[in-house]
Amino acid sequence: MEYEVNIGIEIHAELLTKSKVFCSCPVQFGAPPNTLTCPVCLGLPGALPVLNKKAVEYAILTALALNCKINRNAIFHRKNYFYPDLPKNYQISQYDTPIGIQGYLEIETANGRKRIRIRRVHLEEDTGKLIHSGGRITGSDMSFVDFNRSGVPLLEIVSEPDISSPEEAKEYLINVRDILVFLGVCDGKMEEGSMRCEANVSIRKKGSDKLGTKTELKNINSFRAVERALQYEIERQIEIVSKGKEVVQETRHWDEKNEKTISMRSKEEAHDYRYFPEPDLVPLEIDDAWIENLRSQIPELPEEKYERYKTLGLTPYEAKLLAHDLELSIFFDKAVKLYNNPKNIANWLLVDVTKELKDRNKVITQTLLTPEIMVELLLLIDEGKISGRIAKDILPELIDKGSSPEKIIEERNLTQITDTSALLSVIEQVLKENAGVVEEYRKGKEKSFMFLVGQVMKLTKGKANPKLVNELLKKALG
C-alpha cells in the first residue's frame, strides 16, 4: 500500500524588538533571572497591557513577505490555561482575527517548485521559563520561574498541511527562517529557542481525499530534528495503519536522545482554552497607508536574490548558497557594484572566504573584510600583480586585520615575478638540483613536471607567475 503524507508546521518566532510586546521591559537574553520584569509582565494585580507598535509592524512585515492578506481589524484574544510560567494564567494571543491570513510560500522540492499555503500569522506573548532543581521536572523538589522571557513578542506562523515529506518540511522551515532573518524581525536560531517549531502529521492512502488522523509533534529544536522526528512519526503511523489499526489523535513529544516520539496527551485531555476577546486592549486597526509603508520596507528576499543571481551567471547552486545567506549576499551585492565579475566574487566568497569564516565561527560582518578590500585583492590577481596562491595566503590577514592587500604586497615584496631572465636562472638551478626527476620526466612521467613547477614556486616563494613558469620550464626541458 502506498501512503501520502500531510504535514502542517507551526512556527513560533521571537521578535527582535527592543521592548516586550505589552510593556516597556527590554527584550534581552542572558540577563540574571527576573531582572527584566515589571508589574505587567509579572502579571501583578491591576497591571494592564499596552501593545508595542514595532511588534505589530514586524508581524505585518512577515505576513506581507509570506504573501498573506492583512486583517484590517485584528483583535487580540485571551488563551486561558494554568501553568506556573504563565504569569496571568492566560496568554494574550490572537484567535479568529490574526494579523495575516491566507498566505503562501514557494519551496524547491524533488519534483520542482511547490506552493505551501500559510493559514495564519499572528502575534502573541511568550511565557516565562521554568527551571527545575536537578534539571528535570520529574523528581525535582523545587522549581523556579524566570520571567525575563515573559512578554517577549512571539510570531506564530501556521501552514496548511500541504507539506508531503520531512525533506519538504525542512526546506519550508529554512525558507521561513531565512525570510525572518532577511526582514530583520527574528534571528532564527532554533537551537537557542528564538525560533521554535511544532509539526502535525498524518498519513492517508494515496488518492484518498480525506486527511488521516493527525498527531502533533512538540519539542523539535533543530532543523535536523524536524526531519528525523517527522520521519520517525510517519513510519510509526504507517506501521499502525498497515496493521489495520488506527492512529490516535494526540500530542507527541520528540525524544531527541532516543530518536523517537512519545505520547504526551490525547485529544480527550486537550485543553479548552476558553478564548475570548482581550478586554484590556482595543481592536488593532491597520490601514492601507500603514500596510503600503511597510510593504515598501521589505528588503529583497532570498527567492528574489536567487533569481537575480542566476541572471548574473552564477550556477543555481552558487545562487542559492549566496541568496540564503543574508550577510554574504549583502557583501556580494556591494562587491559586484565595484567589480563586474560576479562569478569570480561568488567563487571567492563561497570557497575561500567561507572556509576562513567557518574556522573562525563568524559571519562576514563580524570580520574586518570589506567588499572594497575583497575587490582590491581580485583586481591584483587580474592585473597579474599577484598569483592566486599569494592572494589565498594573505586572505586571513585581510579578514582579521582589514589590511590593504596592495600595501601587504608592497611591504613584503610579494609582487609576481614576470621577469623572464630572473625566472630562467631559477629554472636552471631547479633542473640542476633535480636531475633524477628531469630524467623521469623525459622517460614520460608527466607528474614530474608539476613537481618541478612546484620547486620553482618554492624558490620564488610563490611569487613566480605560474603561467610563465610553465612556458619557460617546458622550453627548458625541450
- The binding site for other proteins (CB under 8 A) comprises 39, 42-51, 78, 80, 82, 84, 87-90, 143, 145, 272, 274-276, 279-282
Residue with cell 515598501: 296
**Distance between CA atoms of residues 22 and 41, nearest Å:** 8
The answer to whether the Cα torsion of 352, 356, 358, 364 is positive or negative is negative
Least CB distance to other proteins at residue 268 (A): 13
Least CB distance to other proteins at residue 276 (A): 6
The sheet with strand 276-277 has its strands ordered as: 90-94, 76-80, 276-277
Least CB distance to other proteins at residue 90 (A): 5
Quick one: which of 237, 231, 115 has its CA closest to 170? 231
**How many CB atoms are closer than 10 A to CB 348?**
21
Q: Are 84 and 115 in contact (CB under 8 A)?
A: no
Least CB distance to other proteins at residue 110 (A): 41
Q: Smaller CB distance to other proteins: residue 39 or 454?
A: 39
Least CB distance to other proteins at residue 150 (A): 11
Least CB distance to other proteins at residue 1 (A): 36
Q: Smaller CB distance to other proteins: residue 281 or 336?
A: 281
Q: Smaller CB distance to other proteins: residue 147 or 232?
A: 147
Least CB distance to other proteins at residue 272 (A): 5
Q: Smaller CB distance to other proteins: residue 40 or 349?
A: 40
CB-count burial class (<10 Å; 0-12, 13-18, 19+) for 478: exposed
Q: Smaller CB distance to other proteins: residue 88 or 260?
A: 88
Q: How would DSSP label each residue in 193-206?
A: TSEEEEEEEEEEET
Q: Are 230 and 26 in contact (CB under 8 A)?
A: no
Least CB distance to other proteins at residue 30 (A): 22
Give residues with Cβ within 8 angstroms of 340, minimum separation 6.
none
Query: How long a stretch of residues is the chain?
Result: 478
Least CB distance to other proteins at residue 24 (A): 10
Q: Smaller CB distance to other proteins: residue 90 or 232?
A: 90
Least CB distance to other proteins at residue 133 (A): 13
Q: Smaller CB distance to other proteins: residue 184 or 277?
A: 277
Could you give the residue ranges of the DSSP H alpha helices within 48-142?
A: 53-65
Q: Smaller CB distance to other proteins: residue 131 or 298?
A: 131
Q: Smaller CB distance to other proteins: residue 88 or 253?
A: 88
Q: Smaller CB distance to other proteins: residue 26 or 384?
A: 26
**Distance between CA atoms of residues 356 and 262, nearest Å:** 41
SS3 258: coil
Q: Enter the C-alpha cell of residue 109.
A: 522540492
Residue with cell 511588534: 55
CB-count burial class (<10 Å; 0-12, 13-18, 19+) for 349: buried
Q: Smaller CB distance to other proteins: residue 51 or 291?
A: 51
Q: Are 111 and 48 in contact (CB under 8 A)?
A: no
Q: Are 358 and 325 in contact (CB under 8 A)?
A: no
Least CB distance to other proteins at residue 42 (A): 6
**Distance between CA atoms of residues 373 and 130, nearest Å:** 48
Which whole-number Å values give the CA distances from 477 to 315, 371, 444, in the listed order? Answer: 40, 43, 12
Contacts for 430-438: CB closer than 8 Å, 24+ residues apart: 430/455, 430/456, 430/459, 431/476, 431/477, 438/477
**Distance between CA atoms of residues 220 and 210, nearest Å:** 27
Q: Smaller CB distance to other proteins: residue 90 or 172?
A: 90
What phi-psi label fits residue 158: left (phi over 0), alpha (psi between -120 and 50 degrees) or beta? beta
Least CB distance to other proteins at residue 219 (A): 20
